[in-house]
Amino acid sequence: MNALQQWMEKNLVPVAAKIGSQKHLVALRDSFVGMLPATMVGAIAALISAVVTTVPSAVQQLVQGPTKAAAAAAAGKAWTLANTPVFEQLSAISSLVNQGTLTIIGLIFAFSWGYNLSRAYQVNELAGGIVGVSALVAGLPNMLGLATVGISDKAMTAINNNIAGQGLATYKPLFAAAQLDAGAYFTVIIMGALATIIYAKLMLADLTIKMPDQVPPAVSKAFLAIIPTIVAVYIVAAIYYIVQKLSGHELIYLISKYIAEPFQALSQSIVAVLIVTFFVSLFWFFGIHGTNVLGAALDGIWGPLQLNNMDVYSKQGLQGVKNLVAKGATDKAHAIDGQFVNLWVRGSWDAYAWFGGTAGTITLIIAILWFSKREDYRTVAKLSLAPGIFNINEPMMFGMPLVLNSMFFIPLLLAPLASVSVAYAATALHLVSPVVLSVPWVTPPFINAFMATGFDWRSIVVTAVTFVISFIIWFPFVIAANSMEDAAE
């Protein structure tokens, strides 16, 4: 164990530390964190819409029975809050909130990415955010807002070119909302980074317009960013144009098809989920914040999949999610009428494995308070209990400590792997609904999973099982630590 630990400290820790402090990855992590208000508001809107449209039907089925409830629905007599005063307006307002958050979350991310990347380069952040938005919108398909089912990209481009060529004064480019949601993430990450870095480099090279000292600072600051912004946006626009002319497809389509979709398909593999889980715990063992180090992967790959689930839930409710899962629509390739849900998303870890913090350390706290005879461990556990309920485990990680504690190396790795395996299997076997809502990570265990799955009661059972398994893995090592103290005495 000591030899392995020394090898990891020499070879793995420096690499992880560099990844954790790499300014582009830090900016990417901060960009996702910065969007939290929008994603949470969107989640609340999705929850309200689902409750208004699905809870009444569920209650009616419970009261009347499935047969009578179905008959009432067929006769147009189904009980629903959606047509009830106050609730009808609340549902409509929630739809508008959803439209202003999750529907354009890609646009929001574009600004957040440009802003945080500019801050990493210590240049004008506001202008950087604007560059990020421009870099996305410049590459969106320029199509009319018409029903285009069954019409290829090339055919739609020809239609638009023909209309534009006639010089119709009423013609305006309209963008599909599907290109502004989470599906734009990879395009934003790639093209937004290119545009913002070009902008930042030119700013740092002082290729700017300088105004006299008498000019107000805000105006002077804006003028400084004009030339770098022009160059950056023109370069990415030129790339979009060249790629479209050479391939016949917009770059956003190519990125989605050949980069985003393969990554997201791989993300639904249990192997990929376990690899990420393993490295998050491994980094934590060396005192490096694993979720931050791998934040770009967690939020960049599994985050958009969660937003997709939220969109489906807001439109179809929990029963609609269950129906899609039952029919096998668990990836884009098997979508039904364009709708599908993902089995494992960003919030799945928080719901089923990282209760009390990474590695399920709330179960370790319980094991210590139950079995430990060591006063130092018991004191730390008592102090860590309240934070642990809200998934804050730094007191345990650094107070006990678990960091570089070879005694607890195995359960630190094994407990979350076991929890994830059980939760993944339960979701894949349709024993519980996938995570469909974004829940604050500080939400206590059990409540987190219950809310995240759209109030699927089965999630409480699954969490209880993973909770017990995690406890069973931790407690033998707590007992073994007692023996170590006795031997030392």
pLDDT digits (tens, 9 = 90+) for 107-148: 999 999 999 999 999 999 999 999 999 999 998 886 544 444
Q: Please tell me the distance from the alpha carbon of residue 400 to that of residue 412, in angstroms, as a whole number.
A: 13
What pLDDT score does 315 carry?
80
pTM: 0.77
What pLDDT score does 157 carry?
60
What pLDDT score does 147 carry?
40
| Range 463-477 average pLDDT | 95
Q: Please tell me the distance from the alpha carbon of residue 448 to that of residue 426, in angstroms, as a whole number.
A: 17
pLDDT at 97 over 80: yes
| Range 227-248 average pLDDT | 94
What pLDDT score does 67 carry?
53
Q: pLDDT-based confidence at 473, cuts 50/70/90?
A: very high
What pLDDT score does 55 carry?
52
The SS3 of residue 452 is helix
What pLDDT score does 488 carry?
42
Output b/e per residue, 92-117; b: 16+ Cβ within 10 A.
eebbebbeebbbbbbbbbbbbbbbbb
What pLDDT score does 59 carry?
46
Work out the mean pLDDT of the chain and round it to a whole number: 82
Q: Does residue 304 have a cis bond before it (omega within 30 degrees)?
A: no
Cα-based distances in Å from 113 to 125, 139, 186, 291, 404: 10, 16, 11, 19, 34
What pLDDT score does 489 carry?
43
Partners of 435 in the beta sheet? none
Which of 410, 475, 346 is CA-nearest to residue 33? 346
Tokens of 30: 């901060």
| Range 310-326 average pLDDT | 86
Q: pLDDT-based confidence at 77, cuts 50/70/90?
A: low
Partners of 339 in the beta sheet? 336
Angle formed by the axes of helices 361-371 and 458-488, nearest 10°: 50
Q: pLDDT-based confidence at 90, cuts 50/70/90?
A: confident
Tokens 């930042």 map to which residue?
200
Q: Please tell me the distance from the alpha carbon of residue 418 to that of residue 411, in angstroms, as a whole number.
A: 10
- Name which of 19-33, 92-106, 262-276, 374-388 the model is least confident about: 19-33
What pLDDT score does 60 carry?
43
pLDDT at 232 over 90: yes
pLDDT at 198 over 60: yes
| Range 391-401 average pLDDT | 88
Domain ranges of the chain: 45-100, 103-140+175-260, 268-488
CB 39, CB 135: distance < 8 Å: no
pLDDT in tens, 269-314: 999 999 999 999 998 888 888 888 888 788 888 988 998 898 888 8
* Higher per-residue confidence, 74 vs 407: 407
pLDDT at 7 over 80: no
